[in-house]
Homo-oligomer: A and B are copies of this chain.
Amino acid sequence: MEVAKVAIVGYGTIGSGVARLLLNNSERIARYAGKRVELVRVVDPDLKRPRSYALPPGLLTADLDSVLDDPEIVAVMELVGDAESSRSVMLKLLDSGKDVITANKTLLAEHGAEIFKRARRVGRSIAFEAAVTGGMPVVAAITECLTANQIESIHAILNGTSNFILTQMEENDSEYAVALAEAQQCGYAEANPALDVGGGDTAQKLAILAHLAFGARVDWHEIPRVGIDVVDIDDVRYARELGYTIKLLAVAELVPEGLELHVSPTLVRHGTPLAEVRGAYNAVRVVGDAVGRVFLHGLGAGQMPTASAVVADLIDTIIGRSAISFRTLNFWPADVESPVPLRDPAKVPSRFYLRLNVDDRPNVMSEITGILGRHNISISSVIQHETEEDSSSNAVPLVIMTHTSPKGDVADAMKLIGQLACVHPGSVRMRVRD
């Protein structure tokens, strides 16, 4: 049987998972790849750190050149965590004639155009299923399976850490800080969780999906985003009372005015598939003009789910499917303007959930609803629970659900409402999805 020699660069969590799959399941992988796939080198500057998978002796090396200079190595899995190192390694691998598989979303979001241009120039391919939602095959779904469709929208839960925290808050009635600490204890959240809970990770993945589905060229920093770090347990409770759960949604929606992109905590109606996504799971809901709604749900991160996608990409690379996809799909083409304008976020309509802390006295409701009315925002429901007569606080929460209105109008109204004497600081505004 023919042999395909391959290497791993970056021997961290994902790298260990990939090595485990390649070495433990070589027979199955050979069946799918039509060749025996031999892992001949694993490169990492740190040779000492203990890993979850013990490599056979002789495989691990700190010498990247031993891969670059070995013409028998045909495909390399680039699993370096840091985006800058990853970029530099990618370019070297491509220049040395290797087909590359990467799991690095930041690399694609920040340097996609550069590395894809280089790969085209040197005639190599890049496969990147693992970079977006780990083992859940959303890249293949959009770029290979739904090609007969104009994609109309994507609604997605793309950050398992945030979803885990929101699920903990909902199921255990925990404050945000408690749920975050629990996520850190379980290994779902990093010591510095900012990229996850602030929505940055989700925005990077959304920028990639927007490119795959719509050809959009968007800097992920420019996608309007709010993270889950603003979500209060009170909002989780009110949402439940109203029949909703709060999810960190990434949205890409094509309308005649352009492409709407945003990341924000959103009230999602109970009983819809997105609302049922719990724990560290991801989900992507894609609507295409022919296929209708397709929904994928799975683990979007973690060692073995991500390794699953890396090895599937490796097999595709070895049998030649990746080269064909890479050539025909022409991702991140050089010097091309985004074919679709981004829509002005202020114009995007939505239903909104508003929570205000207001004085418990006459006329408050009429002042607030008056401002909403003058902005043409109609109210679909209101919650104001009875307070105890001897309550020491003079502020009570008032929750308002609006009908669909442009985001800008709601923001303007909320600004005026915030200036009312009867309204205390700390108002909350979140989108609602039915």
Shortest distance in angstroms between A263's beta carbon and chain B's nearest beta carbon? Answer: 23
How many chain copies does the complex carry? 2
Shortest distance in angstroms between A211's beta carbon and chain B's nearest beta carbon? Answer: 14
Given the interface pairs A276-B271, A312-B145, A320-B324, the reply to whether A136 lies near B21 with Cβ below 8 Å is: no
Other-chain contact of A144, B147, B312, B328 (Cβ < 8 Å): B312
| Residues on the B chain within 8 Å of A92, using CB | none
Q: Which of A270-322 contact B (CB under 8 A)?
A: 271-273, 276, 288-299, 302, 304-305, 307-312, 315-316, 319-321
Cβ-based interface call for A227 (8 A): no
Other-chain contact of A292, B147, B271, B298, B311 (Cβ < 8 Å): B298
The answer to whether B140 and A144 have CB atoms under 8 Å apart is yes
The answer to whether A311 and B147 have CB atoms under 8 Å apart is yes
The answer to whether B291 and A135 have CB atoms under 8 Å apart is yes
The answer to whether A150 and B294 have CB atoms under 8 Å apart is no
| Residues on the B chain within 8 Å of A32, using CB | 147, 328-329
Cβ-based interface call for A327 (8 A): yes
Cβ-based interface call for A427 (8 A): no
The answer to whether B321 and A324 have CB atoms under 8 Å apart is yes
Cβ-based interface call for A34 (8 A): yes
Given the interface pairs A291-B298, A297-B294, A328-B33, the reply to whether A308 lies near B129 with Cβ below 8 Å is: no
Cβ-based interface call for A345 (8 A): no
Cβ-based interface call for A364 (8 A): no
Given the interface pairs A148-B307, A276-B271, the reply to whether A294 lies near B290 with Cβ below 8 Å is: no
- 0/1 string, A146-173, CB within 8 A of B gives 1: 1111100000000000000000000000
Closest chain B residue to A136, Cβ basis? B294
In the bound complex, how far is the Cα of B327 from the Cα of A309, in angstroms?
21
Cβ-based interface call for A25 (8 A): yes
Cβ-based interface call for A137 (8 A): yes
The answer to whether A148 and B276 have CB atoms under 8 Å apart is no
Cβ-based interface call for A29 (8 A): yes
| Residues on the B chain within 8 Å of A327, using CB | 34
The answer to whether B135 and A294 have CB atoms under 8 Å apart is yes
| Residues on the B chain within 8 Å of A276, using CB | 271-273, 276
Given the interface pairs A296-B295, A298-B293, the reply to whether A308 lies near B140 with Cβ below 8 Å is: no
Query: Which chain A residues have a beta carbon within 8 Å of chain B's beta carbons?
Result: 17, 21, 25, 28-29, 32-34, 129, 134-137, 140-141, 144-150, 271-273, 276, 288-299, 302, 304-305, 307-312, 315-316, 319-321, 324-325, 327-329
Top 6 closest A-B pairs, CB basis?
A148-B311, A135-B291, A137-B145, A295-B297, A290-B308, A294-B298
**Additional 16 contacts, C-beta under 8 A, given A135-B288, A273-B273, A321-B324:** A17-B290, A25-B150, A29-B148, A32-B147, A135-B291, A140-B141, A271-B276, A290-B307, A291-B298, A291-B299, A292-B298, A293-B298, A294-B298, A295-B298, A321-B321, A321-B325
